[in-house]
A and B are shown apart, each in its own frame.
Chain A
């Protein structure tokens, strides 16, 4: 059981603010992923929760108790490091049992718990080996096993899959999700990979330059990003953006006047958008369609066939690239000129400061 509350938690170094006033509650048994580009402070925030980094302002509350000054091993949290951080001179069993040994648990009980964890992680055959004799995936499992054996209130994962190859990463991803279901423990997982975040999280916390951009379920972030940063960071290939000015066409409603004189009809934005104010329109690649006559278009630059879908990279005549995701095995060839329409019911609008004004997408 672990419910974590972060109240205005911040981290200052001598001359810069690494984390600014994070306000976040992580519910018991929740799987929360911190995601963001490198250097955004996500690992620092995790290490502050772990107790490896000092919290310079605000309060960390674990199960109702202020934990700022509680040492790492007394917080009831276990951490899995990116580098695995296994003890190289100890066997797998000794690695997994180390925390219990430090806690003064009897040898027989340690052996029993290590066995149980090894069974869950399929490590029984390698318990007497040393870390250097294991494969990357096995080492990863030992690191997780070391955390499980402690039976912690919560697990902290610091980019645990980034040293594995692609196939193993996908496999371990599902294993971790399953583990979360089996253990019913709170998990906080740090990654820079938004696919990992989308596939594993109950809720995602998007961090950028030390502050939280948005907190929400994967689909909330995908469908209703709070700002341009989240809109651009979540989703691959990323959302298409078009800059223009608010206009009011003759037939009513609202439109966006793009550079180059083109006009995009958009659903009326909630609230008043002053005529002529700068806006950014965002639309996901799958919400663009090839059409006989659409407001957008250009020359096809690259075509990526992924099997289930095809990605078209279209050169926008006014600059930039428009990405279209289609399942139409379109008889389009590189170099061809295509016309693109957008689904107005899937458009997001952002104001000058990058904040979302409206999402046409339903919740």
Chain B
């Protein structure tokens, strides 16, 4: 089939919208190479001599490595846990649905509609009383719970695309539920598992609310690291931008490498 070519006005609109959406990131990137004075210049400077002093300051002053390490550990561990819990949950919902399965799916998603600040106080108190304040454990648990509904939904929709006949055929062939999971579901749903994991990692990486509220100097993630630059002593735009670039760069690179999988995962079930 021949690919249809976009019309010129369509292409122009697409480029403008894309530029507008990308602009904040672009501006952040540009600002991160300015000095503090240049960063607050009005009108904004478009042409300037790029310097790396903000990066140097951000890296030297505030323990970037520790925060980055926390981000990596929290996002990976919380995602692994979420997948491990969601896989059997989605399996039973897709292949052995009960009368309330649909309700349960909707209810799970409804927890995502609750503003996090609504449960801040109880969760803070629970963390305080269990000694989990400012620990990675607390963030791992909270991020895992936060992403669980989405991961279950994604895996559920991937599983639902797998014809039931195939599992029944495997059953006739002597594969019980465990071997069906190993020999059929894991390979067949691996693109789905990969995209669910990618999305969970990205969401967890960028999660700021809980990171800022539940951690201090030990378990803070890169989101908390950025937040430090809007300190009482004032806003340092260039350093803030440099810190932000350092925080988003890993996930941006990771995301763009994994882009194809991610798009497939997000549109799963849309077309057969």
Contact = CB atoms under 8 A, between A and B. Distances in A.
A319 B187 CA distance: 61
B174 A102 contact: yes
B112 interface: no
Given A83-B163, A87-B166, A73 B172 contact: yes
Interface in A101-131: 102-103
A73 B165 contact: no
A50 interface: yes
Interface string B85-124: 0000000000000000000000000000000000000000
B188 interface: yes
Q: Interface of chain B, helix or strand or loop or mixed?
A: helix
B171 A72 contact: yes
Contacts of A146: 169, 173
A89 B163 contact: no
B188 A88 contact: yes
B245 to A, nearest CB: 41
Interface in A70-95: 72-73, 77-79, 81-83, 85-89
A89 B188 contact: yes
A52 B168 contact: yes
Contact of A85 (B163, B175, B179, B187): B163
Interface in A51-73: 51-52, 72-73
A52 B171 contact: yes
B184 interface: yes
B201 to A, nearest CB: 25
Nearest to A103: B174
Contact of A78 (B172, B175, B184): B172
Contacts of B188: 88-89
A52 B166 contact: no
A81 B173 contact: no
Nearest to A53: B168
Contacts of A88: 166, 188
B132 interface: no
A302 B135 CA distance: 85
Contact of B169 (A77, A79, A89): A79
Nearest to A149: B173
B175 A102 contact: yes
Contact of B173 (A52, A73, A82, A89): A73
A89 B189 CA distance: 11
Contacts of B174: 73, 99, 102-103
Nearest to A80: B169
Nearest to A94: B183
B172 A79 contact: yes
B170 interface: yes
A98 interface: yes
A87 B184 contact: yes
Interface in B124-176: 163, 165-166, 168-175
A86 B162 CA distance: 11
Contact of A99 (B163, B165, B168, B173): B173
Contacts of B187: 89
B50 to A, nearest CB: 50
A81 B171 CA distance: 13
A50 B166 contact: no
B173 A50 contact: no
A78, A85, A99, A150, most chain B CB atoms within 10 A: A85
A82 to B, nearest CB: 8
Contacts of A51: 172
A73 B180 CA distance: 13
Contacts of A103: 174
Nearest to B190: A89
A50 B168 CA distance: 10
B220 to A, nearest CB: 43
Contacts of A98: 170, 173, 175, 183
A73 B179 CA distance: 13
Nearest to A147: B172
A50 B165 CA distance: 13
A82 B164 CA distance: 12
Interface string A316-345: 000000000000000000000000000000
A281 B188 CA distance: 57
Contact of A81 (B169, B175, B183): B169
Contacts of A150: 173
Interface string B187-215: 11000000000000000000000000000
A355 B184 CA distance: 50
A73 B173 CA distance: 6
Nearest to B169: A85
Interface of A: 50-52, 72-73, 77-79, 81-83, 85-89, 98-99, 102-103, 146, 150
Given A88-B166, A98-B175, A103-B174, 14 more contacts: A52-B168, A72-B172, A73-B171, A73-B172, A73-B175, A81-B168, A87-B166, A87-B183, A88-B188, A98-B170, A99-B174, A146-B169, A146-B173, A150-B173
Pick the 4 closest A-B CB pairs, nearest first.
Answer: A85-B165, A99-B173, A73-B174, A102-B174
15 contacts: A73-B172, A73-B173, A73-B175, A77-B172, A82-B165, A83-B163, A83-B165, A85-B165, A87-B184, A88-B188, A89-B188, A98-B173, A102-B174, A103-B174, A150-B173
